[in-house]
Amino acid sequence: MKILVINGPNINMLGIREPGIYGTQDYMSLRKLLEDTGNELGITVEEFQSNHEGDIVDKIQHAYRRFDGIVINPAAYTHTSVAILDALKAVGIPTVEVHISDVSAREDFRQISYVREYCVKTISGLGTEGYRQAIIFLKDYIVR
Ligand code: DQA
């Protein structure tokens, strides 16, 4: 089983950016957590991060017939990107939406999520542990 984890803009700045909101764990430790989760579950977990919307669309398209599941934190593109939603719909791969912070308790402009319409589950506010939970959920969801 192969799961692709996609992170949007500024996720590479974890540990530096707004630690009161996103925590002190850095991006490298997130990558390590994903690798450890894959090893623990006996599945392949690949991570991709980009600050560019089109690159994220390209990566989703490239996942077609190559990945069984997607975990996506579109970051700021959550609230703006119809293109990312359409790409997910186009490839038809089961997808879980993850947010490190509890977006439901934040600004009004963060209350809209375009990808949510397509995703089988949303995990928000659990910090980087949310990615682990998402992978565990997806593994079970895919084999069902
Ligand atoms: C985020 C929440 C978004 O609103 C924000 O733009 C991000 C990160 C999160 O993981 O909590 O960059 O997706």
| Tokens of residue 45, six digits | 């977990």
Question: Which domains does the chain show, CATH number per domain?
Answer: 2-143 (3.40.50.9100)
pLDDT at 63 over 90: yes
The chain-wide mean pLDDT, for the chain, equals: 98
CB of 73 shorter than 6 A to ligand 1: yes
The pick from 12, 18, 21, 22 for probing ligand 1's pocket by mutation, whose C-beta has the most ligand atoms within 8 angstroms, reads: 22
4 in Cβ contact with 50 (< 8 Å): no
CA of 99 to the centre of ligand 1 (A): 6
If you compute the radius of gyration of the chain from its CA atoms, what whole number of angstroms results?
A: 14
Write the DSSP string, 18-78: -HHHH-S--HHHHHHHHHHHHHHHTSEEEEEE-S-HHHHHHHHHHTTTT-SEEEEE-GGGG
Q: Decide if 52 is catalytic.
A: no
For the chain, the 3-state helix, strand and coil shares in percent, each to the nearest 5, are 50, 20, 35
For residue 121, name the pLDDT band (cuts at 50, 70, 90): very high
pLDDT at 144 over 90: no
* pLDDT, tens only, 73-102: 999 999 999 999 999 999 999 999 999 999
Nearest CA to ligand 1 atom 7: 75
* pLDDT, tens only, 67-81: 999 999 999 999 999
Beta bridge partners of 123: 98
Q: What is the distance, to the nearest Å, from the Cα of residue 82 to the centroid of all Cα atoms in its chain?
A: 16
Residue 84 is predicted with a pLDDT of: 99
* pLDDT, tens only, 7-43: 999 999 999 999 999 999 999 999 999 999 999 999 9
85 in Cβ contact with 115 (< 8 Å): yes
Residue 123 is predicted with a pLDDT of: 98
45 in Cβ contact with 38 (< 8 Å): yes
